[in-house]
Amino acid sequence: MANRFSDILFQLIHSLEKSEKRHFKLYIKRSSTKEDLKIVKLFDALDKLGDYDEKLLLKKLPGIEKPQLSNLKTHLYKQILASLRLLKSAESIDLQLNEMFDYAHILYKKGLFVQSLRILDRAKETAKVNQKFNFLAQVLSLEKRIETLHITHSMQMRAEQLSAEALEVSARIDMVARLSNLALRVYSWYISNGHARNEKDDERLKQFLDEQLPPHAWEQTGFYERLYLYQIYNWYAYIRQDFLMYYRYSQKWVDLFAEQPLMVRVETGHYIKGLHNLLNAHFDLRNYQKFEITLQQFEAFAQSDRVIQNDNFRIQSFLYITTAKINQHFMLGTFSEGLSQVPEIERQLKEYDLFIDRHRILVLNYKIATLHFGSGDYTTCIDYLQRIIHDQVDMRNDLQCYARVQHLMAHYELGNFELMESLTKSVYRFMAKKENLTRVEEEMFKFLRNSFHVSRHTLRAEFEKFLQKIKKFEKNRFEARAFAYLDIISWVESKVYQKPMSNIIREKYLKSRKRTYKIAETQ
């Protein structure tokens, strides 16, 4: 598997769809030089390889020596990108704008200044409509160069206008850059550390945000300024486990695209991410009906040409919708039904393995493990958790910790008590080292250690005591992640009431739905 990632040309060719491969062949045949015929043979050979193997590749290319291969690969890589640029230009505003700028620059070099300015005017209008301010800076720079160095009979009218436009664009670019940088840094904090563990983490994060947030950020009215501002507070709320605030800013994020529907096409990736976060917020708050509505909205969008015809958006949508559907099974207690999705999930993960980052794989492995845990298949649950525990990627300390806790719980369910004492100590030490222990987990480790010495007929009473202790922490914000990752309360209730955990969760859902109907009837 490692070889698949060792060669960028191999990865690029295997990312191509049939139509893209066909277009490349047609594109390259236009020139048909001797060198081009060699790269077509190289393209076909790499396309047929299952994994990158240079020795096998050279055997398939008689007449090409190893010293030649490097140059041929570089040439082929550039030609594939040129072919894709030509094919995809109609789908991308950025490519269209760059093409117009290139044409304007060519005309400028030819001394056809008026023609160049006309194209720049069209490019500028397109950029303004699509709020591409970084591109506007390039256009204005070339416009100013033409007006400064050459007499175009428009200088008197244009000087003040270009100066004002340049200053406005510069200010907006600066604000967007500062807000987007901050959004990225807050998100990076979460990827590295997970949720805030205590008041110390919370205060450090708040102080960081207060220091880094640009002045007048809340006065901005532009699309990108508001988008990145909502993203900052979206992640800030999620890290702090303030799920109501997280929901509020996720909804603002999605609503921003509803206000400016043109931007759905321009910033499709951000729109997809916004829908994903809104679904997560509904899940955390158990907004069952709103979750279903948003999921349907997301699934409908995932079937649009904009998503289907774009590899990145299609894979992104697959990951987020898959996560949402598994979360829905967690909410409804339908763990066994959720397992029916796993073979197809595994198939698609294999299909997209060149493009999916390790973080997403870890999250899905944890969620699939939880489906097996809720279904009572603790052995398979352990298999999936081992993938996380043995992974060497240094990210998501919280996920690493909760994988170990669930692993411990699965062994408990299997009755592997000879392992439990050493496992409990090991997991406790790991979480203490990562400074990841909450009060709920402290109580859980204490309960598990004591349970080894409790007779079976008194165990239920001990579970009842344990349940009363942890219920006190249910509304505590810093304890929320223990319940979100593991739903320990439902697990303990299943022991107290001697019912499957799935039944306990299902009953909670049905009670919530009944309350919703009663409220609706009184309104």
Rounded CA separation 80/461 (Å) = 68
Tell me the pLDDT tens digit for each residue of 241-261: 899 999 999 999 999 999 999
Q: State the pLDDT at residue 303.
A: 96
Confidence of residue 360 (pLDDT cuts 50, 70, 90): confident
Rounded CA separation 479/412 (Å) = 22
Rounded CA separation 241/476 (Å) = 10
Tell me the pLDDT tens digit for each residue of 404-427: 989 999 998 998 888 888 888 888
Q: State the pLDDT at residue 37.
A: 78
Per-residue pLDDT at 206 exceeds 70: yes
Dihedral angle of Cα 306, 311, 314, 319, to the nearest 10 degrees? -150
Alpha helices by DSSP H, 376-451: 378-389, 397-414, 417-433, 439-451
Per-residue pLDDT at 218 exceeds 70: yes
Q: State the pLDDT at residue 433.
A: 81
- Percent of the chain scoring above 70 in pLDDT: 93
Q: State the pLDDT at residue 194.
A: 74
Q: State the pLDDT at residue 505.
A: 93
Q: Quick check: 88 and 62 in contact, CB under 8 A? A: no
What SS3 state is found at 429?
A: helix
Among 116-120, 321-325, 452-456, 499-503, whose mean pLDDT is lowest?
452-456
Rounded CA separation 467/496 (Å) = 8
284 C-beta neighbours (distance < 10 Å), count: 18
Q: State the pLDDT at residue 153.
A: 52
Of the candidates 331, 371, 335, the residue with the CA atom closest to the CA atom of residue 507: 331
Q: State the pLDDT at residue 511.
A: 87
409: phi then psi, degrees, rounded to nearest 5: -65, -35
Measured CA to CA in angstroms, residue 155 lies from 109, 160, 178, 250, 303 at distances of: 20, 9, 34, 47, 50
Rounded CA separation 332/329 (Å) = 5
Measured CA to CA in angstroms, residue 252 lies from 259, 275, 295, 381 at distances of: 10, 11, 17, 37
Confidence of residue 2 (pLDDT cuts 50, 70, 90): very low
Q: What single string gives the DSSP state of each residue in 118-138? A: HHHHHHHHHHHHTT-HHHHHH
CB-based contacts of 330: which residues, under 8 Å, 6+ apart? 283, 338, 370, 374, 487, 505
> What integer best gives the mean pLDDT of the chain?
87
CB-based contacts of 441: which residues, under 8 Å, 6+ apart? 405, 431, 482
CB-based contacts of 58: which residues, under 8 Å, 6+ apart? 64, 65, 66, 69
Per-residue pLDDT at 17 exceeds 60: yes
Rounded CA separation 518/523 (Å) = 9
Per-residue pLDDT at 358 exceeds 90: no
Per-residue pLDDT at 332 exceeds 80: yes
Confidence of residue 436 (pLDDT cuts 50, 70, 90): low
Mean pLDDT calculated for residue range 430-458: 79
Exposed/middle/buried for residue 307 (C-beta within 10 Å: 0-12, 13-18, 19+): buried
For 358, the token pair is 């390790």
Q: State the pLDDT at residue 176.
A: 92
For 161, the token pair is 């206008």
Domains, the chain, with CATH or none: 2-90 (no CATH), 92-153 (no CATH), 333-523 (1.25.40)
- Percent of the chain scoring above 90 in pLDDT: 42
Rounded CA separation 270/297 (Å) = 15
Rounded CA separation 490/227 (Å) = 37
Q: State the pLDDT at residue 3.
A: 41
Q: State the pLDDT at residue 396.
A: 65
For 101, the token pair is 């700028």
Q: What does the angle CA 138 – CA 144 – CA 145 come to, to the nearest 5 degrees? A: 90
Per-residue pLDDT at 89 exceeds 80: no
Rounded CA separation 451/445 (Å) = 10
Q: Within its chain, how far is the Cα of 214 from the centroid?
A: 26
Of the candidates 89, 87, 84, 93, the residue with the CA atom closest to the CA atom of residue 266: 93
Rounded CA separation 488/40 (Å) = 58
What SS3 state is found at 423?
A: helix
**CA gyration radius, the chain:** 28
Sign of CA dihedral 102, 107, 111, 117: negative
Rounded CA separation 509/283 (Å) = 12
Q: Quick check: 3 and 51 in contact, CB under 8 A? A: yes
Confidence of residue 378 (pLDDT cuts 50, 70, 90): very high
DSSP state of 309: T
Q: Assign 3-state DSSP to the chain and report helix, strand, coil percentages, each to 5.
A: 80, 0, 20
Among 275-289, 323-337, 347-361, whose mean pLDDT is lowest?
347-361
Per-residue pLDDT at 4 exceeds 60: no
Tell me the pLDDT tens digit for each residue of 150-168: 655 555 567 778 788 888 8
Q: What single string gives the DSSP state of each residue in 238-292? A: HHHT-HHHHHHHHHHHHHHHHHSTHHHHHTHHHHHHHHHHHHHHHHHHT-HHHHH
Rounded CA separation 366/484 (Å) = 13
Q: State the pLDDT at residue 155.
A: 53
Which residue's entry shows tokens 């009670």? 511
Tell me the pLDDT tens digit for each residue of 450-496: 777 777 778 888 899 989 988 888 888 877 777 777 888 999 999 99
